[in-house]
Structure 1
Amino acid sequence: MRAAQIIRFGDWRAVAVTTTAVPEPGDGEVLVRVSASSLNTVDVVRRDGRLRMLTGRRLPQGLGIDMVGTVERTGAGVQGFGPGDRVWGIRSDTAGMKNPTGLTADYAVAHAHQIASAPHTLDDVQAAAFAVGGYTALRALRDVARLQPGERVLIRGGTGGVGSAAVQIAAALGGRVAVLASARNEQIARDLGAQEFFDYATASPALVGPTDVILDTVGTDLLRWRRLLTPQGRMVGVAFNSAAGLATIAASIVFGPRRIRTFAGEPPPGSLACVTSFAETHGLRALVHGTFPLEDLQDAHRTFDAQALRGKIVITVAS
């Protein structure tokens, strides 16, 4: 089968599509024939070599932490899934990242708790684009920040992969949504549900004003924006591509309840099923910057490196 891999550490030329054996599902695991997968920041950070302390230096390493497809077969002990079921999944644990086969491949193995039925309201490309962003945004806003109806919420980077999902989820939760993004993306943000829009190139925190909840998908100037929080305000940071940003989040513990919260790692069991239900109930959609067939993997990475993305890059896998 074909699989996307990191074959050396570096720029977009460090990835390749290689041929490898179809993985076998073990106990509790599911083999999925993949239709589509998305390109996430963690893929690029790993490719650059910035996560070698976690994933090690052994190559090749498989690419892709999300996918949508159909169940091919199951390992022993799997209940609730069978051949032909349409599913989506997220496998973002460190062990999975060290594996030579990720989820951007013709076939992928994931544990049964890492997958869920894919939303019937989203096609395969949309589902692949929404999986990680939808999970991240729903957990950040509903479970970590505990956004309440009527509260003002600021989404920094509201037209990226996570941000575009967050705008819709915040609106569905009853928040008054303000977006900070590039001026060229204002109409996109408003179409997603933003009630206020601020151009990041010109808007200062003072212009944006007090807010109850801040979801930061950018990772810079965190303390400067944290000052906007109301007395009971909460801020959640979900950008993990900057050591300085992570250090700022850790140091913010001195602010007690008004610290910058975050979370990382494998989604808890049942999380993705909650995203499926929420997406179907509220008619959520993904913002797709572009699609690339698996054989154009390097072009997908080169496009990601160029920045200025509107939503997610999706890699179509089904042959």
Structure 2
Amino acid sequence: MKAAIYTEYGAADTVRIAEIPTPAPGPKQVLIRVRASSVTTADWRLRASAFPGILWLPGRLMTGLLRPRNSVLGMEMAGEVVAVGHAVTRFTPGQRVFGFAGGGAHAEFLVLDEDATILPTPDDLSDAEAAALPFGALCALVFLRDVANVAPGQRVLILGGSGGVGVYAIQVAKALGANVTASASAGNSGLMRDLGADVVLDYRVDDPASAGPYDLVFDTVGATNWARIRTVLRKTGLFLPLNFGARELWHMLRAKLAGGPRIVLHVNADRADDLRVILGMIADGLLRPVIDRRFPLERIAQAHVYVEGRHRKGAVIVDVTPAAQVPAAA
């Protein structure tokens, strides 16, 4: 099967298309023909070994100290089941599915455990739309609902509102009843309002304090830090950075000792139940997939370049196996 692989850490051109063996499902696993995947921030950070600060060494120990342990990236996917292990009960061949792969989805076929974060794809979602959801939408849901406990009437600032997490954070915060301010470039102001933002700030010229104070600042792109943002938070407010390192750990400890606004650092797990909540929000008209660009698998290195530029508007989709191409599973 075709796959986008990288065998060393580096720039986007380290990713290349190669033929690798097609995996076979175990007793409790499913073999999925991947129709669509995406390139996420996590993908380019793994490829470039761009782990922040003190997380570099733990990151390399996790992914491979000298070279990548797993050569195929791809965190989210949509496709169809082509084979199942003899003990599988939840899925059947021919069934459309989507979900969180955790890696390996930049290939024509992917094996996942039956109890992984995958669900049947609703008929009214295309494969590209389904593949645009798991990474960003799940992150936004967990951080805002579970970590920040966003409540109706709260004032929430989303930094990086047009990014892969930001476009969903706006929608989720609005669905939770918040008054939402989104910060993005001026060219994305229309998209921010379409997604539900009450106030839109141009990050190049507008002071976040102009629309504050806030109960929550959710920084989805590493746009600010505690020293700059604490003055726009209420005394009971929360700063929630998606990206963090030693500096944020130190600031979190200092904030706890000082009282007043808090910092919380969190890494979310991916659960099928949360993905069901996302589907429920879509069915209720509270959330929609947001796709910026689409690239064929053969141009995936260009997708990496685009995502690493940090100016995308939603998901960047990779069309792995278009419907017109149906390679054999064996």
TM-score by length of 1: 0.89
Can you list the C-alpha shifts for 1:245-267, whole angstroms capped at 9, x where unaligned?
32233221332384322332641
1:235 aligns with 2:234: no
Distance in 2 separating the partners of 1:147 and 1:120? 31
Among 63, 84, 93, which residue is 1:74 paired with?
Answer: 84
Which whole-Å CA distance do the structure 1 matches of 2:122 and 2:238 have between them? 30
Cα RMSD, aligned residues only? 2.0
Task: Report the CA distance between 1:218 and its aligned residue.
Answer: 1.6
Name the structure 1 match of 2:109: 107
Structure 1 residue 155 displacement after superposition: 0.6
> CA, structure 1 residues 209+6, in 2 after alignment: closer, same or farther (shift >3 Å)?
same
Counterpart amino acid of 1:248? Answer: R
How many residue pairs were aligned? 306
SS of the aligned residue for 1:279 comes to helix
> Residue deviations 1:127-182, cap 9 Å, x none?
21222111011111111111111111111010111100111111111111100111
Deviates more, 1:71-80 or 1:181-190: 71-80
Partner of 1:298: 301
- Amino acid of the structure 2 residue aligned with 1:249: E
Cα 1:104–1:235 shift into 2, 3 Å:
same
User: CA offset at residue 76 of structure 1?
Assistant: 4.3
- Residue 64 of structure 1, aligned match among 52, 70, 74: 74
Cα deviation, 1:48-97, whole Å, max 9, x if unaligned, reads 123423200344611101101111222243332221222112133xxxx5
Corresponding residue for residue 159 of structure 2: 156
Corresponding position of 2:287: 284
Task: Single out whichever of 66-75 and 259-268 deviates more from structure 2.
Answer: 259-268
Mapping 1:258-273, distance limit 5 Å: 258-264=261-267, 266-273=269-276
The answer to whether the 8 Å contact 1:118/1:276 transfers is no
Q: Give the structure 2 partner of residue 38 of structure 1.
A: 38
| TM-score, scaled to structure 2 | 0.86
Q: What is the CA–CA distance in structure 1 between the aligned matches of 2:2 and 2:149, rounded to whole Å?
A: 42
Distance 2:263 2:247 in 1: 8
CA–CA distance in structure 2, aligned partners of residues 145 and 6 of structure 1: 36
Equivalent position SS for 1:270: helix
Describe the shift of the 1:307–1:219 C-alpha distance in structure 2 as closer, same or farther (beyond 3 A). closer
Q: Indicate the percent of aligned positions where both proteins have the same amino acid.
A: 36
Identify which range, 226-235 or 103-112, moves more after superposition: 226-235
> Which whole-Å CA distance do the structure 2 matches of 1:266 and 1:31 have between them?
23
| DSSP-derived class of the 1:282 partner | coil
In the alignment, which residue of structure 2 is the partner of 1:15? 15
Bigger mean CA deviation after superposition, 30-39 or 53-62: 53-62
CA contact (8 A) 2:159 2:223 kept: no
Q: Matches of 1:283 and 1:221 in 2, distance apart?
A: 28
CA contact (8 A) 1:62 1:103 kept: yes
Equivalent residues of 1:87, 1:115 under 8 A apart: yes
1:55 equivalent in alignment to 2:63: yes
In 2, are the aligned partners of 1:122 and 1:285 still within 8 Å (CA)? no
> What's the offset of the Cα at 1:21?
1.2
Report deviation, 1:117.
2.2
Compare CA radii of gyration and give the structure with the larger one: 2
3-state SS in 1 of match to 2:280: helix
The whole-number CA distance in structure 1 between the counterparts of 2:22 and 2:299 is 21
How do 1:208-247 and structure 2 match up within 5 A?
208-223=211-226, 224-239=228-243, 245-247=244-246
Match of 1:254 in 2: 254
Q: What is the Cα deviation at residue 268 of structure 1?
A: 3.5
Cα offsets for 1:178-206 (capped at 9, x unmatched): 00111111111001110101111112243
Question: For 2:165, what is the secondary structure of its paired residue?
Answer: helix
| Offset, 1:283 | 4.8
Q: Distance in 1 between matches of 2:217 and 2:305?
A: 31
Q: Give distance in 2, aligned partners of 1:91 and 1:122.
A: 18
Partner of residue 242, structure 1: none
SS in 2 for 1:69: strand
User: 1:124-203 to 2 correspondence within 5 Å?
Assistant: 124-203=127-206
Aligned position for 1:83: 93
User: Match of 2:134, SS?
Assistant: helix
Which runs of 5 or more structure 2 residues have no equivalent in the other structure? 51-58, 326-330
How far apart in 2 are the matches of 1:277 and 1:55?
Answer: 34
Change (3 A) 1:157 1:54: same
Contact kept? 1:213, 1:233, Cα under 8 Å: yes
Which amino acid is 1:54 matched to?
A: M
